[in-house]
Amino acid sequence: MHISLNIMTNIFLAPMVGLIIILIDYYSKRTTDIIQRRVFTLLVVSMLAAMMCDLTYAATGGVPDPALHIINWLVNSFYFIFLGIAFSFMFLFLEYNANGSLRLKKIAACVGAFNILYTVILTLGIVNGKIFFITQDNLYVRGDLYAIVVVFPYLLVTLAISNVITQRKNMTKSQFALLLVSVLPAVIGSTLDLLIEDSQKIWPSVFISLLFSYLFIIRMTALIDSLTGIYNRRGCDEHLLALGKITRRKEYSFIMIDMDRFKEINDKLGHAQGDNALKDVAELLRASVRHSDFVARYGGDEFIIIAPSEDPEKIMEHIKSKIEEFNLKQARPYTLSLSCGGALYRPDDVETPQEFIGYVDKLMYNEKERRETRK
């Protein structure tokens, strides 16, 4: 059965317009996360390309014309290629938001190699008519090995979902829910299309998935400091609320960090260099801890690190080591100096995480006073 162009247009109209609006709105926000921007953009664009191929088939299918027969064969071939690319970027999107950029290059290389293999198998199957073939009436018919082309996307999505679930501890409940829900509609719609030919559930389902993905991006953007790229005060407050529910079972290191002589950098070198100094400190703090550890700009030139089951003294030593390495390079017209205060928050502490921050903040300012007194 061939679905008419009119019906296909009605099915495609909302998803296509919706995805275009999402892209326009996404770029108007000018998010600072360049990697996320590239991955999500390529995901949406490849999905739109696959949609256009499907819509073109609706216009050319069933019309007995030799030229349209070739076009029909081409658009259906590219449909599978673009769909494979789209699911690859969906996998990378979930990987990046679950684990950051720590292993993204290696994962992307593996996905790229997998895509090459998929394209080779797909091409061979299309050429010999085993994936699909076009009848004399210019209609698309699934081949005997059609199921092979869906194994690759489903494998990627299955791995991505498993990865998100295993990294649950790195996210708040709302972040985890949004990220997980962002992929499920696409999986359900693809499954229905696989089981029921011409069901055309994939595109409305894909749109719902990408809409949830965009809601996840918006939510994360609200919790991220636009200058440094780490969590902001709001993100810290949400993390502390979530932490209050689980700290009775684990120990956490709380470390407050304050920049020394930050005002001098601003006054003598200008606010642009002051911004660079804040970004440098954020990058050094992130490099001093594990990816799963929490790092935020608490306010102004003050930062906070929260790390489960760690020795606060050890973390502060790592921070000082990173600062020394940075200053030795002399890559900036300033040197960095930090005052740190840290303590271990234990399950039997009567204070809430929010109250414990006040205690650690005092430790940090005591350290700052001692450093200034020694000068």
Integer Cα distance of 132 and 151 in angstroms: 15
Q: Where are the domains positioned within the chain?
A: 5-223, 233-374
Q: To the nearest 10°, the Cα dihedral for 120, 185, 53, 77?
A: 20
Q: Tell me whether domains 5-223 and 233-374 share a fold.
A: no
Integer Cα distance of 200 and 12 in angstroms: 9
Superfamily of domain 5-223: Rhodopsin 7-helix transmembrane proteins (1.20.1070.10)
List the strands of the sheet with 252-259, edge to edge.
294-299, 302-308, 252-259, 338-345
Integer Cα distance of 98 and 302 in angstroms: 26
Judged by DSSP in three states, 137 sits in coil
Integer Cα distance of 362 and 372 in angstroms: 15
Q: For position 158, what pLDDT does the model report?
A: 79
Integer Cα distance of 68 and 104 in angstroms: 41
Integer Cα distance of 47 and 61 in angstroms: 21
Read off φ and ψ for residue 232, nearest 5 degrees: -100, -170
Q: To the nearest 10°, the Cα dihedral for 105, 111, 112, 115?
A: -170
**285, 305 Cβ separation under 8 angstroms:** yes
231: which DSSP letter? B
Integer Cα distance of 361 and 366 in angstroms: 9
Closest by CA position to 25, among listed 246, 200, 210: 210
**353, 243 Cβ separation under 8 angstroms:** yes
Can you give the length of the chain in residues? 375
Give the CA radius of gyration of the chain.
26
Judged by DSSP in three states, 135 sits in coil
**25, 210 Cβ separation under 8 angstroms:** no
Helices (H), the chain: 5-29, 34-60, 66-99, 104-127, 148-166, 173-181, 184-195, 202-223, 233-243, 262-269, 271-288, 312-329, 353-374
Instruction: Tell me the Ramachandran region of residue 344: left when phi exceeds 0, alpha when psi lies from -120 to 50, beta otherwise.
Output: beta
Integer Cα distance of 49 and 55 in angstroms: 10
Q: For position 1, what pLDDT does the model report?
A: 47
Q: Kindly give, in sequence order, each residue whose CB lies less than 8 Å from that of residue 279, ignoring residues fewer than 6 positions away.
A: 227, 228, 229
AA letter at 249: R
User: 252-259 and 338-345: which strand pairing?
Assistant: antiparallel
pTM of the shown model: 0.75
**296, 278 Cβ separation under 8 angstroms:** no
Q: Which CATH number fits domain 233-374: 3.40.50.300, 3.30.70.270, 3.40.50.720, 3.40.50.800?
A: 3.30.70.270
* pLDDT tens for each residue of the chain, 375 residues long: 455 556 666 677 788 888 999 989 888 876 667 888 899 999 999 999 998 998 888 888 778 888 888 899 999 999 889 988 998 998 898 888 877 777 888 889 988 998 888 888 888 888 888 888 888 888 888 888 887 777 777 777 778 788 778 877 666 677 778 788 888 888 787 777 767 766 667 788 888 888 888 888 888 888 888 888 899 999 898 888 877 766 556 788 999 999 998 999 999 999 999 999 999 999 999 999 987 789 999 989 999 999 987 789 999 999 999 999 999 998 999 999 999 999 998 877 778 888 899 999 999 999 888 877 765
Helices (H), 167-311: 173-181, 184-195, 202-223, 233-243, 262-269, 271-288
Closest by CA position to 111, among listed 125, 82, 91, 97: 91
**48, 13 Cβ separation under 8 angstroms:** no
